[in-house]
Structure 1
């Protein structure tokens, strides 16, 4: 596919989608040109930090309509270059979408935005009788990045990788529309398992904006570990 270079008209149009202009960065710094490995560097032409699904939808649709490449970015702790804008275009930096939207112990789930860090989830659950099991090495990684790479960590052998702990996803596809895949229920037989297709796709199939990870009862964890 032929990619187009951002024009001043594109920048003007895209700026209208972002309420706070501090989240619309037209002069990216080296902060956005690498991942944790730092062997390959690629500077985006524009960085946009959405805070809502609506903002992400509008940016993705515009970029798709005008053949502008978009690369989602978390906290850039990965080692595989998935967040690098090798064709220029837009870095869709998700770190401002960092809210906990719901905590539902009765269904053993919480619903969070993609940019929340594992560290923030751990701190939120610290005074509650639950924990989130996946433990990749970088605890300042965003859960959206973990979903996109199907991250594991040292607990993966015993408790599984990220895929085993995500019940539901909200994803913005290239047409700018949001779709929900999966369900908070443990068992769902409705349609194809598109949730599992999205997990590990490294942002190539859509932009994950929200997810519902499952949490485990701490007493159960202690019994399993001891």
Structure 2
């Protein structure tokens, strides 16, 4: 028996039967997230934790043997943050799914494997709402949402995950379990360590429980759909309306995206134009005026057509079309997913630069956006069986990251750096901030075992 196999046998013996997976067939599921990183490795084992204690045992075992650990939620990440490491350990939180609602405190106490959609459903039973709303909300987990500080379609008005995290239980790199925050709304005792772990992509600790703030249920929104001859004109409308109103959703789909969605699942969208989807959930007395401002901004920007509905079901069908953008792109072929953002006034320039990258590199780049936040999701399409197509796609991917940095923006608005965008991070942050990131990492994970190679380069 090799040293590594003996160590794995020790891990298996230390946890209940069925918690640790070791066969190649069972481990295949835990190698990649939705980014499908071709460089993902084969782990030596996967711990399918059912309690915080299981996570502690696994982390202590990994620390004692110097084995890297990759935490994993539902596997819907888009930046390779959950890509397995050869001979490393995956700790999956998929079996930890308990949800408890405290309606009086207006919060949810949630284990990391619970789906975003299930938290929303549980909250709705008490007339409450959990706003963070990734496109994949039906299949993504709260642990992953916390790890990447996920946003989504409603964040333009209601904020992102960190705005709703009141408390976290976290297993540190030495196996200690700590509790940060709680149900209280205001808490400034000590350094803001709670927020440090939100968005840390499993590099500082592993979340085993989250206390999430809930708000009263959202009013049924009114919906405006406008079509434009160019994606830049649609972005101009976004900038104009953002100066005057705070819509609850502002989503953009360029023409190639519209066509991919129609090919994937016909929704009756205009194939010849880019689409802008805007919702308002303002109180009834203010909504008519808000919708009028939004419509005028669209028409002034050159909208070819503007449609308004106050029927929630009809509006929801357009939102569903927007949510289909990623599945439709995935069905169309191999892809590289981007997540770049800029300040909202520069959105028209960013979408124009993205279009130009596609033309210059000779690749198809489709683009959807949480436009009200200046957060775009360009998707680079390519033929994985063609080496030249793959090379041009990877070059386009890097060009788009560079464009965002040159515009003073970010290489990731909500998906995380992961492994796919790690090499662009120094150009965005600069040496001083990169050093601070590394010092924080070293302080909390001195062995460097927690998700090495994600966000920051792994130690050699």
TM over 0.5: yes
**Larger RCO (CA within 8 A; separation ≥ 6):** 1
Q: Quote how far apart the aligned CAs of 1:8 are.
A: 2.0
C-alpha deviation, 1:85, in angstroms? 1.7
Residue number in structure 1 paired with 2:404: none
Whether the aligned pair in 2 keeps the contact of 1:98 and 1:115 (CA below 8 Å) is yes
* 1:13-33 Cα deviation digits (max 9, x unpaired): 1113321x2221101343222
Aligned to 1:14: 11
Q: Please list every run of 5 or more consecutive structure 1 residues that lacks an aligned counterpart in the other structure.
A: none
Structure 1 counterpart of 2:125: 127
Aligned counterparts of 1:105 and 1:164: Cα–Cα separation in 2: 18
1:110-149 to 2 correspondence within 5 Å?
A: 110-139=108-137, 140-149=139-148
CA distance in 1, matches of 2:143, 2:206: 9
Aligned to 2:178: 179
> What do residues 36-79 of structure 1 show as CA deviations (whole Å, max 9, x unaligned)?
12133322121111111111111101111210111100111011
Q: TM-score scaled to structure 2, two decimals?
A: 0.46
Paired position in structure 2 for 1:57: 56
TM-score w.r.t. length of structure 1: 0.91
Residue in structure 2 matching 1:32, options 20, 30, 40? 30
SS in 2 for 1:196: helix
In 2, Cα distance between the equivalents of 1:94 and 1:6? Answer: 27
Per the TM alignment, residue 198 of structure 1 is displaced from its structure 2 partner at its CA by 0.3
Deviation at residue 6 of structure 1 after TM alignment: 6.8
Matched residues in 2 for 1:39 and 1:207: separation?
Answer: 22
**Further displaced range: 32-41 or 58-67:** 32-41
Structure-to-structure mapping, 1:93-112, within 5 angstroms: 93-100=92-99, 102-112=100-110
Whole-angstrom distance in 2 between the partners of 1:96 and 1:119: 16
Map 1:70-109 → 2, pairs under 5 A: 70-100=69-99, 102-109=100-107
Q: Which runs of 4+ in 1 moved over 3 A?
A: none
Structure-2 change in CA distance of 1:71 and 1:39 (3 Å): closer
Q: Is the CA contact 1:50–1:97 (under 8 Å) kept in the aligned structure 2?
A: yes
Query: Structure 1 residues 181, 161: closer, same or farther in 2, change over 3 A?
Result: same
Residues 44 and 6 (structure 1), Cα distance of their counterparts in 2 relative to 1, 3 Å cut? farther
Match of 1:170 in 2: 169
Q: Do the aligned partners of residues 76 and 164 (structure 1) sit closer, same or farther apart at CA in structure 2, a change above 3 Å counting? A: same
Partners in 1 of 2:27 and 2:7 — Cα distance? 20
In 1: Cα distance, 2:171 partner to 2:37 partner? 30
**Aligned counterpart, 1:193:** 192
Provide the C-alpha distance between the structure 1 equivalents of 2:197 and 2:45, rounded to a whole number of angstroms: 25
Once the two structures are TM-superposed, the CA of residue 125 in structure 1 deviates from its matched residue by 2.6
- Taking the aligned partners of 2:14 and 2:93, their CA distance within structure 1 comes to 15
Give secondary structure in 1 for the equivalent of 2:59: helix
Give the secondary-structure state (helix, strand or coil) at the position aligned to 2:62.
Answer: helix
Highest Rg: 1 or 2? 2
Which stretches in structure 2 are left out of the alignment for 5+ residues? 221-247, 249-280, 283-460
1:88, CA displacement in angstroms?
Answer: 3.1
CA positional deviation for 1:128: 2.0
Residue aligning to 1:66: 65
| CA offsets 1:154-175 (integer angstroms, 9 cap, x no match) | 1111111100011000000011
Aligned 8 A contact 2:169 2:208 in 1:
yes
What count of residue pairs does the alignment treat as equivalent? 218
Distance 2:211 2:19 in 1: 26
